[in-house]
Structure 1
């Protein structure tokens, strides 16, 4: 790719790297001293790391080391909802990712060569990408609006005297020291200066925080129930408007918004199941990126000829730099996994062991008969999970004066969100170092560089080094999101330090039956699900006999004000 003497160009393909070529006689020192260049690369770093940070926190969910929440709040997804929308990568994906990416990239390259003019292909792909990215952009916009709402209308905040206040939407009051009816924190409180203004503020807060129940049913085809907020309805309109505007104008800013949306959505639905799979996926794409950038013309040609949101474009003065979505999504998936690893370890440390007198059933090796014996073992008791998402506004306003004071006494909801994140921060630092190394190589060699060549060692190396320093190599290799760790009522043996060294089995009514096949739990669950379905079918048949059956339904219901606040 050729660039003007005043330009810094970079190219990116699907699952590809950050590349650049230079024209002119400027030295590396000259570029570093150039303010425009520095602003450009700072924007690139901030954009990439910002969306990874947000997406990783949005992808948090209950770890298998914690019990499900005792009572699910309205609008809060349960474990089944989270599992339905998330997809753990398997070992086959480590092989298929580079192959699929190579097939798509080479196919686009030869299609461009055959068409000569990629204008038609650009139009088709822009329409496809802008349409497909609307759902992801809707999620990004909705979460962004909810975040903004939490800063203006937090559920908890500190008064001027440092006392903790809790907003009760149903009672339209603020619990804490003294009588208070102003739901706005800090300097915002001045906006509700009169009774009329406060009434309007409470109404606005209700509009922005209330959940609506939406139901959509088509007999024999589709049935869905969900709880949405005002933010989701506004986000739908904004995402559609963004897609239409981009298709009409091809603005780089709107293209970046679509790209951010696709990255954000990818973090919510894609995740390596464990560290082995995550490592293999990254390593496979590591070699793919090197080959496509250094040994083929595919990457540079596709990235420079196609004007579609498969990359983020950053401009400063006359300079331009492009970062591919693959350089964000691929390492970002593992960084998000690292944050969930931190949460899992946090709840592992909360597990307690209760001494239990139990009966163990097992088969005698010689006779094959079932033998019953009594022993004193320890039952694993997990802490109940407290949702850690959506607490940034509350955390800010409960810090006190100038947001700097940290109070030890916090509500359970906020204290749970403040858990240690050593692996997440280590992987973010590794990503930053990888990006800096990439930009440095661009300056030194003045030719295209595959970013994954530096990002993969940075992220993987930081995770493994942190585990080695903390002495947690066993933990990082044990953690998996395949569901095998999500157990309850497990009986274990403890060592001298009070740590479990051997799982005896699952406790049922004070009995550990070691004669049962390991798949019996799965069979029991399937049988229960089948029985539940049969019961539901019977109920539906009874209803049909009495009242007929529903063909189509689309409804939106608003609950009583404050009934499901936050």
Structure 2
């Protein structure tokens, strides 16, 4: 995706416009061109609307992708898992798999992107007909889009389902209703009270006016069954004996998303629709921001500036970027059609800054839980030898107790139904809604830097009448705005040490604090020795020995059985298991 980082105006013939002015007199100076830009925009209002669509679309892709990339930060502990088969409308606490970038990627990214870009350029020149490449790459991207487009469509369906089947909603008199899918009822609670009382008049899973059923009990049960099928997890089992055995937990909307994505890719491959090409581009951007993480701010800054220099060189000093972007008709760019002109934006201009902005949002999420941690006093025992005698001394230290994680995703429906419009940015009806409204200082700073940089990019495009390397403006705008925010807030050290490589994801950490309660030193695990720890170690060793004996006996029992009777095994299995109904449970 980094091979197409260019913002350009495109004419009706599909080529980049290098001269959009009919002026044949001596060229104007930069200041004269810049001062005439407002008048130019007034005379070309349709062009202004076109560029506004570009900026809005890029910001929307990054905003949605960054929120989709949220996961449990290392400053919080996993929520206590419910027993297997338990009911309830809860979100999946599983960690998303991400591709963590390393500092070496700051060098590899530009090199690999350059190799791919030059290779495509040489291939286009050699074939002299890009239709062949378009067909090959179109088929390739059609297959690759199934996962990303399926993810985007499935998450969109999840959001729609959240509006239809919310967990909470608020009546006009301020009464808050909690929808309980297990008990098939709605419980009301008054403002300022946690007590919940079953409301017998509201027996459907819908909010507001539709909460009261006017039909039969059979129809009401059907509504609850639909809610269960759309909100609870299904299980897909696929196994081949001796090769793999996989169990995948998904929701019904995920299956619908894959089906819709397959249909969309088939239609795109046969029609080459610009609309479907843009939708696939949105999906690639969304998936790219979710799946790629710079891991640290230093790594992210290095990767972005590596691509920053690559983008400048490829656009200003070579014909590779503009040629590939305008010749290839594949979903590696977003194309915006206007009455007179068209404009395009490379997906790299969204994904590359977007993954850094996503890191900023996760850092805000980390700080939200980091500020909630508690320092609990604990007694540490230290064993020392004095004159041949073993002496045990006790010292009081502090143990970091992290707060429990609450998944903030999937709360749009609850926020809409339970929060007044004046407080839509600070919902407080449930703990999940409170967790979703954490302060996003660094995220908004990065978004503001991206917005300003995009405006500058488009202004330079109009002034110089030449395709612009958008990363030339986007990288400094995003990176500098974030580091400057950390400098102003005095949190540069927190940004520097923050990492998503798992090293901060510890529990029961013992620390030393100063007189003001600030953490000064973290005591390593091998230095910790709390009260009762030795007894626990002994019990663990004894338990391990017992388990080894039991395991050996079990193997002997299986061996004796196998000698008397052959055991059958499944060679191939594929099954889809729906969630169990409340009656079956």
In 2, are the aligned partners of 1:98 and 1:284 still within 8 Å (CA)? yes
Q: With the length of structure 1 as denominator, give the TM-score of the two structures.
A: 0.86
Q: Distance in 2 between matches of 1:416 and 1:492?
A: 27
Deviation at 1:198, TM superposition (A): 4.3
| Alignment partner, residue 51 of structure 2 | 41
Residue 449 of structure 1: which of 445, 468, 472 is its match?
468
Q: Deviations over 1:224-269 (max 9, x none)?
A: 1122222111111110011111110111111111111111111222
Which secondary structure state, in structure 2, belongs to the residue aligned with residue 486 of structure 1? coil
Residues 1:499 and 1:28: Cα distance change in structure 2 (over 3 Å): same
Q: Does 1:162 align with 2:162?
A: no
In 1, are the aligned partners of 2:311 and 2:469 still within 8 Å (CA)? yes
In 2, are the aligned partners of 1:88 and 1:271 still within 8 Å (CA)? yes
Residues 224-239 of structure 1 aligned to structure 2 (within 5 Å): 224-239=246-261
In 1, are the aligned partners of 2:296 and 2:500 still within 8 Å (CA)? yes
Which secondary structure state, in structure 2, belongs to the residue aligned with residue 501 of structure 1? strand
| Alignment partner, residue 295 of structure 1 | 317
Which secondary structure state, in structure 1, belongs to the residue aligned with residue 237 of structure 2? strand
Residue 360 of structure 1: which of 382, 385, 389 is its match?
382
Residue 172 of structure 1: which of 173, 176, 184 is its match?
184
Structure 1 window deviating more from structure 2 (35-44 vs 91-100): it is 35-44
| Alignment partner, residue 391 of structure 1 | 411
Which stretches in structure 2 are left out of the alignment for 5+ residues?
Answer: 10-17, 24-35, 190-198, 535-540
Aligned CA RMSD, in angstroms, stands at 3.2
Q: Distance in 2 between matches of 1:318 and 1:361?
A: 82
| Alignment partner, residue 287 of structure 2 | 265
In 1, are the aligned partners of 2:241 and 2:570 still within 8 Å (CA)? yes
Q: Distance in 1 between matches of 2:476 and 2:557?
A: 56
Q: Deviations over 1:506-538 (max 9, x none)?
A: 34553899xxxxxxxxxx9xx99xx9xx99x96
Deviation at 1:408, TM superposition (A): 7.1
Deviation at 1:15, TM superposition (A): 4.5
Q: With the length of structure 2 as denominator, give the TM-score of the two structures.
A: 0.84
In 2, are the aligned partners of 1:361 and 1:512 still within 8 Å (CA)? no
Which secondary structure state, in structure 2, belongs to the residue aligned with residue 62 of structure 1? coil
Q: Does 1:59 align with 2:69?
A: yes
| Alignment partner, residue 141 of structure 1 | 153
Residues 1:78 and 1:412: Cα distance change in structure 2 (over 3 Å): closer
Residues 1:467 and 1:406: Cα distance change in structure 2 (over 3 Å): closer
Q: Does 1:334 align with 2:334?
A: no
In 1, are the aligned partners of 2:177 and 2:186 still within 8 Å (CA)? yes
Q: Distance in 2 between matches of 1:466 and 1:109?
A: 40
Count of residues paired in the alignment: 531
Residue 501 of structure 2: which of 482, 507, 510 is its match?
482
Q: Does 1:124 align with 2:136?
A: yes
Deviation at 1:316, TM superposition (A): 2.1
Deviation at 1:549, TM superposition (A): 2.7
| Alignment partner, residue 108 of structure 1 | 120
Q: Distance in 2 between matches of 1:221 and 1:544?
A: 25
In 1, are the aligned partners of 2:2 and 2:113 still within 8 Å (CA)? no
Residues 398-413 of structure 1 aligned to structure 2 (within 5 Å): 398-400=418-420, 402=421, 404=423, 409-413=428-432
| Alignment partner, residue 81 of structure 2 | 71
Deviation at 1:554, TM superposition (A): 1.1
Residues 1:405 and 1:239: Cα distance change in structure 2 (over 3 Å): closer
Structure 1 window deviating more from structure 2 (294-303 vs 15-24): it is 15-24
| Alignment partner, residue 32 of structure 1 | 41
Larger Rg: 2
In 1, are the aligned partners of 2:513 and 2:519 still within 8 Å (CA)? yes
In 2, are the aligned partners of 1:136 and 1:262 still within 8 Å (CA)? yes
In 2, are the aligned partners of 1:342 and 1:423 still within 8 Å (CA)? yes
Q: Deviations over 1:397-429 (max 9, x none)?
A: 1113x5657887532222222211101111111
Deviation at 1:274, TM superposition (A): 0.2
In 2, are the aligned partners of 1:431 and 1:459 still within 8 Å (CA)? yes
Residue 466 of structure 1: which of 456, 464, 485 is its match?
485
Q: Does 1:242 align with 2:264?
A: yes
Residues 84-95 of structure 1 aligned to structure 2 (within 5 Å): 85-95=97-107
